[in-house]
Structure 1
Amino acid sequence: MLKGALLGAVAQELVKDLALAIQEQSQYATQFPTHFKELEDQLKYMQSFVADASKLKDKQETVKTTLDALRQQIYEADDLVVDCQIREDYWKMQGSSCSPSLSEMSFRYQTGKKLTKINNQIKRTREYLMSFYNPIAGHPYNKNNIDERRWSSLAFDQSEIVGLTEDAARLRNWILAQDEPQLRIGIVGLGGLGKTTLAKIICRDANLTKRFQVKIWVSVSQPVNEVEIMKSILKHLNADESESSKGNMLDRIYQLLSDKTYLIVLDDVWSIDDGWWERISTGLPKTEGTNSCIIITSRIKKVVKRMGVLETKVHQPKLLDEEESWALFCKVAHMSPNGEESPKLVDEGKKIVEKCKGLPLAIKTIGGLLLLVEKTDFEWKRISGNFHEKLTNLEGNGSEGNESVIASLQLSYDELPARLKQCILSFSIYPEDHEIDADQLVHWWQGEGFVRGKSTETATQSGLICLSELISRCLVEVVQRRNFDGSVYTCKVHDMVRDLTIKIARDEDFCSFNESGKHISNKNSRRLGVTRETTFQTLQGNSKLRALLLTTTHYIGFNKNIELAKVKSLRVLDLSQVILDSICVKDLWYWITSLNRLAYLNLRDVAKLFEVPNSIGKLWGLQVLILGECKNLKKLPTSILKLPRLIIFDVGNCPNIQCLPQGISRLSKLQELYGFKIAGPSNATGSRLGELKALTELQVLQIDINEESHIQDQELKVLENLEKLRVLSINAGDSKDKEILKKLDKLSPPSSIEELYLKHYFGETTPGWINPKSLQQLQYLCLEDSRINMMGKDFWGNKDDKWDVKGLCLKFCQRLKVSWEELQTVMPDIRYLEISQCNSLVSFPCDVEAVGFWYKDENKKGSPKTQKMLSLKKIECS
């Protein structure tokens, strides 16, 4: 059932790229119009087939080999398209109209040959599949091919309940404190977490029995059957309307419930996209004084919120703690909780329970397995040693109480949109419990094309939205969030989710694993997460590797003779914090600059990186270049200005770089620029503030002022042109130069700014442009390490101009004297404060001498705005 899902996603994205290239009449599409059109037509057909074949069970083995071959063909086609797009963008940037060179003619000749070969291969694959594939009998929605989804009922064994006491108490209190006609409660969480069980506890709760005249339990099938839902409700109401129309059934439901207090549980809801809930909810009356309740269980937080559940009434059951996990295990495995068995058996049991990481379904599944084997420490030790393999291979029949962990989680994967399937598989390369940087994930997805920019959002925003969706579906856990709006800094996945991604990633050739599930490198590896145990010699003959990221090590042992140096297919290379000791940096750069398809290069915080070679200009496909926090980096080559696809450029917190090379205006696609340093009058080759005028796509800009920086009068209005700018950070560099302070006071940032950071500013008052009339969109303001005595007079606006600011951060502003009452007057919507060592502040609602936080409403910490935020970690930490 797994095979083909990822393949379909790759084909879908490739078809989009090809269609766009042809629509735009690009240089290389028009060189081979017939070839590209044939490739597009072939892939569109194959995309439809793969979508069907991936859902078939009886033909799984028959199509396996063919799908493997097709996957390789699509990857090769994708490489070819990228090669063409990269060259097209480069020549557009150069504006060259000269006759093609010999190398260019050679490229066109080779491209034509490859296109012909790929088209012939895909055509043969299609003809072969058509020879046995019956699209009618084998259609995924044929009755015999529909997956039997889990169902549930109100029945359960109360004695088996462990660890949900606090959860039940919280929901009970919500219901008892209710003062509204219809309360809606959402229970969300990972598959196997106990959502259904918790809903059953509430339904059977003695304190609530008399509150509701009617209790209705509906197991929502997938795909949703609207008629069956209404029939189920009527059955609970002792009304038989099986022959009625939908409208009549809904009217009957409304009549029967209109004078009653009811509790309805909708268990296991996945989607409301076809509008079924909007229609059915009209038949559930909201009668004053009845205080009815609807409880919805789902794996997707966004679904319950769309069904009308407020953020404050969404509950996620916690994972079981060590004591609770052991208690549940003892019940299922028929162990004595008092340790009457042998100490060795208890020790092995606790080791097994620890590996379940608090997931109730995992504990129940492995506990049930142990009932079938001899109760000896030898047998249990054997099970413990093969824990992940045993748990992964256990098959469930889809019925409640007899559902394997992987089968349960598989449903969450199956329901993902194609674009999210590639994203969740990325987590398979990281070790257990590894805390993953959100920036790294998003840039990786961007570099490989898993996420793409749209007219309304950048690729970075699209990636953050995908991550947010995976979190909403409870497949990814947040480890660190930004306090103000809940933006994700780091995340991880539960070990059981990781086991699922490993199983699928291995089947899909997403990356390579051995039989025990250990991530390895070999000649077929497509993605590689590097640890201390990784060996590169096994990469011999590899021409498929697309992504390489350091995960738990900062060493790669690179030299020009290792097999990694022969790999030329990389699109993603993350060597952040790599240790360059014992590495010939010249050889490393020679290899890096030979990676023609490289889209994402991260060399953040590389201690002994002194320079970037001019050869980096050969990386025409580079979209993301991260060099931030390289403390010893002194100079950047002008060849960086020849990178036609660059959209993110980070040289923030690189103290030895005095300025960027002149000509940065050529990077017209830049969306995020960190560490823009303004050259002084004596530096004829350095960047000027005026160059930013041409960078109209900028959404994030970090400007660093140093002792040499100089701003001319005619450059003061430059920022006004950046109409898409949403985040602006100005680091004034502790400059005491009165001239530069005057210039900073006269800047004219665009009104589109939503977040503003002013750091190391030595002016006595805030710049005049920091006022509510000029910055009407501002949501968050941060003043840090500054000698400001008071807010400027324009800061306070007037009765018609007040701030829309929601968050305020004041750090190390020892001289700033302002009262909380004054701020509230001009910032009436403020709901978040962060204060550090601002001793002169008056009557603030939090600590101002050390570190203080304040929330107007604690429940608003995780704002929906998270989905649209750009990543700000680089700015906040620099």
Structure 2
Amino acid sequence: MAETVVSLVSNHLATLLREEGSLLGGLREEVQFIMDELGQMRAFLKVAEPKEDDEPRLQEWIKQVRGAAYDIEDVLDEFVLRFAGHRHHGFCGSLQRILKAIKSLPARHQVASEIQSIKSRIKNISERCQRYQVEFGIDHRVTGSSTMKGSRLYSRDDALLVEEAKLVGIDQPKQHLISMLLEGHDYQLKVISVVGMAGLGKTTLVKKVHEDPKVRKNFPVRAWVTVSQTCDFPKLLRDLIRKLHKDLDKSVPQSIESMTTAELKEIVKDFLQQAGRYAIVFDDVWDVEFWNKIKFALPEGNYGNRVMLTTRNADVASTSCTESQDYVYRMKPLSNEDSWTLFCNKIFKGNRCPTHLMNVAKAVLDKCDGLPLAILAIGGLLASKDVSRIDEWEMIQHNLGGKLERVKRILSLSYNDLPSHLKPCLLYLSIYPEDHLIACQRLIQLWIAERFVEWREGMSIEDVAWGYLSELISRSLIQVTEVFYEGSPNTCRIHDLMREVILIKSREQNMVTVTTGQPMTWPSEKVRRLAIHSSCNSSIIQYHQQRQFYSFEHLRSFIAVSSTNPLLSKTFLSEVLRSSKLLKVLELRGEEIEETPNEVFDLLHLTFLSLYGTKVARVPRAIGKLQHLEHLNLGNTGVRELPVEILKLQKLRHLTVFQRVDPSDSDYGFHGFKGPSKLGGLLALQTLNTVDASSGSVIVKEIGKLTQLRELYITQLRREDGKELCSSLVNLTSLRELSIESIGKGDDSEIIDLNHHQHSLSSSSSCSFLQSLRMLIMCGRLETMPVWITHLQNLVKILMIWSGLRAEEDPLESFQHLPNLGEITFCGSYQGERLSFKAGGFLKLKQLWLRRMEGLRWMTVEEGACPYLQRLHLRQLPSLEDLPSGIQHLSHLQRLSLYEMSSRLIEKVGNQKEDREDYRRMAHIPEIVIGFYADDGKWRSRRLWGKKK
């Protein structure tokens, strides 16, 4: 699979010629020749690689192409490392350049010699390429492959199409499982196992059952835990504890990190005994002993508790259901009719299959054996084909091989068919462990840092990357697990079978090497990307002893993923960094390190540095040496100040430095960083999170120079700097997220004065930031609501904390007609007695959070207001003694949370009888959760619906 590597290296060479061409001098023509030759090989490789398994000579040739491409990249990166940091100016600079040139002549001769050697290799490889075209009958001019005609942003339609596709044929098994959950007059614990081969849609089916309103109404306590093949049982128990507490908005005991397995089981058992009737899902169980381990943490009680398991192994089901064999549900493949519907939905967007493709389409579908995963994957592949080219469809049909292996063949075909720029993006997912939830934002940032994403005219590199992700999702190679309410993906994952295919392809291409610290077989080729996963018994000492003589001089990326243990020893980390001079990506998120290793500042090629969640508290002045750095993440660290040398990082696009003021109370904001007075010199910045503005108007004024900003988070803003901030905001035409936090805390915070430049900020015709803003956070008192807020046409989410608006400043007036507003949080935001949601207002609102407003006594919801509201959370509203008038109009409401409310309201809600009018007003809500602190100071919660009558 050398085409991907050649593509990446070719792009890297093009960048090098563009940005560092003057350094190359006479070598420029040689590099251009090599790049041109590699470019001509790419089309041939696209067609040749699928044939390599059957042709050993072709396989060896492809390996040589990949090796030569990597070697030229190494030589040129080392050349730049040696010379790029020695640019000098002025008369003295000229003398230094002369001296430097004299001293570097031997080094230049060495580089020239290496490039000539690679050029000779490339010539020989190219000659054999021409010979193989004739010998193997490969015509590289017609590849039969699609290309991405243009990058597109992720849209609601994409998400909905994927979701609808998965739901085909699910209604009947879903209703059957719901009946199995709800039936039975015995109130003993019942276990239901869903068994079936990979790709049948077990997880999708059980997820829909778990989220069904009937199930939610009958089971007040629910949790979903993914088990996976490499199960760390204590980690699983901690995960279960976190999810149970989160579901009831309770704080998680800090001590669970140091507890034994037995202690963790007791925590789970005690929680469930107090919480009431529960339904817990354990997804993807492999080990037959799993049930014997977990069952002692699950109390039976007399509530009719339920556990659901999904597994590929029938023995797992029989072990967990020894006393109730009838509760094993065996998944079946889709019927022919449902298979055809799913197939056409994926390829033709629900339209009919063209007549000329009917026979070949049915032949392809027959080979999918009714497996949804296979149908979606092959559908994603065929959807990219020209419907007028029946030969492309027939080629895919002939390449399909029974059952599980056929699915893998389909997934391999789907990978092989990808455009070259998407292949490395997909293979890169091999850095993540099995069943890992992948944060989409972080993933695309890594793609960009790895240079997988191509620049496109008129588009930001981030938008191009989101387009790549959208394409992989639409082809069903990546599964969306959580979306923002506006439809864009928040987290994603890869199916286990897809991951197996990706791991194989990644090893073939030497893309990523993964270790858990256990003894392993290392690749014979040079390690270029190293991902370290934690495991319950992993020890970096074993790893270090095993590979103590291993060289990492070709390493480009070093990534720690899910390292819950202190996996990286200081000695090992220093050794890797010392030998990895060409490193571009360093991700040490969550590692137990207290200072940035000194070796980091010698990594002059570094573009991505993340120390998120470490104990690092300061940034050395040596940071200025990393002049290629584009992404610096010091989030959730102790860093409070950045040195003036940060201004040397002229390529820096994302700067994140913050820590929550009070981790136990989310209503209080963040510590930011104090930056140098000329921060506006970082002209490439797109993310600035979070800058401390307490030093005065100078830093606020500097923000106005950062015209590329898309995310801006400010803390410690002084009242007198509000005017200067408004002046700066006018310049930020690309801003999408804005957070403003004033000096002070809670009711003692300073006033945020943003009523300036009203014309510039509120004019719908001006090119202001208002056209792009999607999220607005304001933490601090407001005397009046800024007029320009009413013009935020693209605003999706707003949080107002400690605003303290007077009764005449009803915040709803400003927001009710914003066309895209999906989520509102008000905390201490309003001092009035009444909030009224008017008919025709908040047409897209889905989540509403109201808390800490002591004066609020009445809420009314007119018919036609908030028609799609799904979640209403009311907390610490002591004067509110009744539910919102008109709550029956909120027909889509899924959950009503009442936390620390007045005793009168809780009593009124909790003691309703079914024949009362008030009861009927609430009967349509699947979940009503009541939470309060008991007399003993402990948090208690209960659900109104679902408890045993």
Fold match, TM over 0.5?
yes
> 2:592: which partner in 1?
579
1:835 maps to which of 809, 832, 849: 849
1:669 maps to which of 684, 691, 715: 684
Cα distance in 1 between the residues matched to 2:432 and 2:445: 16
Q: Cα distance, 1:19 vs. partner? A: 4.4
Q: Cα distance, 1:796 vs. partner? A: 4.2
CA contact (8 A) 1:733 1:759 kept: no
Cα distance in 2 between the residues matched to 1:812 and 1:667: 34
Amino acid at match of 2:647: L
If the length of structure 2 is used for normalisation, what is the TM-score? 0.58
Q: Cα distance, 1:665 vs. partner? A: 1.7
Please state if 1:555 is matched with 2:580. no
Cα distance in 2 between the residues matched to 1:29 and 1:602: 31
Cα distance in 1 between the residues matched to 2:467 and 2:893: 23
Q: Cα distance, 1:113 vs. partner? A: 4.8
Determine helix, strand or coil for the equivalent of 2:788: coil
1:787 maps to which of 804, 809, 829: 804
Please state if 1:448 is matched with 2:450. yes
Determine helix, strand or coil for the equivalent of 1:418: coil
Q: Cα distance, 1:403 vs. partner? A: 4.7
> 1:122: which partner in 2?
122
Residues 1:737 and 1:96: Cα distance change in structure 2 (over 3 Å): farther
> 2:368: which partner in 1?
none
1:44 maps to which of 32, 35, 39: 39
> 2:421: which partner in 1?
419
Cα distance in 1 between the residues matched to 2:339 and 2:810: 62
> 2:224: which partner in 1?
none
Amino acid at match of 2:357: I
> 2:579: which partner in 1?
566
Cα distance in 2 between the residues matched to 1:21 and 1:114: 17
> 1:502: which partner in 2?
503
Please state if 1:590 is matched with 2:598. yes
> 2:64: which partner in 1?
69
CA contact (8 A) 1:699 1:725 kept: yes
- Structure 1, residues 417-461: CA drift from partner, whole Å, max 9, x if none? 222221222222332223333343222212111124433433333
Amino acid at match of 1:662: S
Please state if 1:847 is matched with 2:868. no
Please state if 1:638 is matched with 2:644. yes
> 1:8: which partner in 2?
3
Determine helix, strand or coil for the equivalent of 2:473: helix
Cα distance in 2 between the residues matched to 1:93 and 1:700: 35
Determine helix, strand or coil for the equivalent of 1:651: strand
- Structure 1, residues 155-194: CA drift from partner, whole Å, max 9, x if none? xxxxxxxx9974457899xxxxxxxxxxxxxxxx996659
- Structure 1, residues 593-634: CA drift from partner, whole Å, max 9, x if none? 121211111011212x1211111111121111000111x223
Please state if 1:544 is matched with 2:545. no
What is the total number of aligned residue pairs between the two structures? 648
CA contact (8 A) 2:632 2:656 kept: yes
> 1:698: which partner in 2?
709
Deviates more, 1:98-107 or 1:444-453: 98-107
CA contact (8 A) 1:768 1:792 kept: no
> 2:463: which partner in 1?
461
Determine helix, strand or coil for the equivalent of 1:717: helix
Determine helix, strand or coil for the equivalent of 2:847: strand
CA contact (8 A) 1:659 1:687 kept: no
Amino acid at match of 2:738: L
Cα distance in 2 between the residues matched to 1:557 and 1:402: 41
> 2:674: which partner in 1?
659
- Structure 1, residues 75-121: CA drift from partner, whole Å, max 9, x if none? 23335666788999989999999536355773866655554343233
Cα distance in 1 between the residues matched to 2:377 and 2:589: 45
Cα distance in 1 between the residues matched to 2:795 and 2:347: 43
CA contact (8 A) 1:436 1:492 kept: yes
Cα distance in 2 between the residues matched to 1:695 and 1:572: 25
Cα distance in 2 between the residues matched to 1:646 and 1:803: 34
Residues 1:445 and 1:91: Cα distance change in structure 2 (over 3 Å): farther
Residues 1:93 and 1:43: Cα distance change in structure 2 (over 3 Å): farther
CA contact (8 A) 1:543 1:568 kept: yes
Please state if 1:762 is matched with 2:770. no
> 1:256: which partner in 2?
none
The 5-angstrom pairing of residues 291-330 of structure 1 reads none
Q: Cα distance, 1:842 vs. partner? A: 1.9
Deviates more, 1:26-35 or 1:410-419: 26-35
Deviates more, 1:98-107 or 1:806-815: 98-107
> 1:511: which partner in 2?
512
Residues 1:548 and 1:849: Cα distance change in structure 2 (over 3 Å): same
Q: Cα distance, 1:488 vs. partner? A: 3.4
CA contact (8 A) 1:513 1:519 kept: no
Residues 1:688 and 1:791: Cα distance change in structure 2 (over 3 Å): farther
Amino acid at match of 1:636: L
Residues 1:705 and 1:80: Cα distance change in structure 2 (over 3 Å): farther
Residues 1:26 and 1:786: Cα distance change in structure 2 (over 3 Å): farther
Residues 1:660 and 1:404: Cα distance change in structure 2 (over 3 Å): same
The 5-angstrom pairing of residues 433-444 of structure 1 reads 433-444=435-446
Cα distance in 2 between the residues matched to 1:803 and 1:165: 38
Cα distance in 1 between the residues matched to 2:605 and 2:833: 54
CA contact (8 A) 2:802 2:827 kept: yes
Residues 1:89 and 1:118: Cα distance change in structure 2 (over 3 Å): same
Determine helix, strand or coil for the equivalent of 1:842: strand
> 2:382: which partner in 1?
271
CA contact (8 A) 2:707 2:731 kept: yes
Cα distance in 1 between the residues matched to 2:702 and 2:512: 43
CA contact (8 A) 1:751 1:776 kept: yes
Determine helix, strand or coil for the equivalent of 2:677: coil
1:200 maps to which of 319, 330, 335: 335
Cα distance in 2 between the residues matched to 1:60 and 1:94: 56
Determine helix, strand or coil for the equivalent of 1:622: coil
Residues 1:696 and 1:536: Cα distance change in structure 2 (over 3 Å): farther
Please state if 1:725 is matched with 2:735. yes
Q: Cα distance, 1:858 vs. partner? A: 9.5
CA contact (8 A) 2:518 2:539 kept: no
Q: Cα distance, 1:712 vs. partner? A: 7.6
The 5-angstrom pairing of residues 80-479 of structure 1 reads 98-99=93-94, 101=97, 102-103=99-100, 106=104, 112-134=112-134, 137-139=137-139, 166-167=170-171, 193=201, 200-202=335-337, 228-229=356-357, 269=379, 270-273=381-384, 276=387, 398=400, 401=403, 403-479=405-481
Cα distance in 2 between the residues matched to 1:42 and 1:412: 28
Q: Cα distance, 1:675 vs. partner? A: 0.4
> 2:608: which partner in 1?
600
CA contact (8 A) 1:789 1:817 kept: yes
Cα distance in 2 between the residues matched to 1:85 and 1:664: 28
Residues 1:706 and 1:268: Cα distance change in structure 2 (over 3 Å): closer
Cα distance in 2 between the residues matched to 1:657 and 1:491: 29
If the length of structure 1 is used for normalisation, what is the TM-score? 0.63
Determine helix, strand or coil for the equivalent of 2:849: strand
Amino acid at match of 2:48: A
Please state if 1:741 is matched with 2:741. no
Cα distance in 2 between the residues matched to 1:717 and 1:519: 58
Q: Percent identity?
A: 21
Cα distance in 1 between the residues matched to 2:142 and 2:469: 33
Residues 1:661 and 1:451: Cα distance change in structure 2 (over 3 Å): same
Q: Cα distance, 1:704 vs. partner? A: 1.5
Determine helix, strand or coil for the equivalent of 1:843: strand
Cα distance in 2 between the residues matched to 1:87 and 1:778: 48
CA contact (8 A) 2:587 2:609 kept: yes
Determine helix, strand or coil for the equivalent of 1:123: helix
2:620 maps to which of 613, 623, 648: 613
Cα distance in 1 between the residues matched to 2:700 and 2:621: 24
Amino acid at match of 1:127: E
Amino acid at match of 1:229: L
- Structure 1, residues 220-258: CA drift from partner, whole Å, max 9, x if none? 99xx997742678999xxxxxxxxxxxxxxxxxxxxxxx
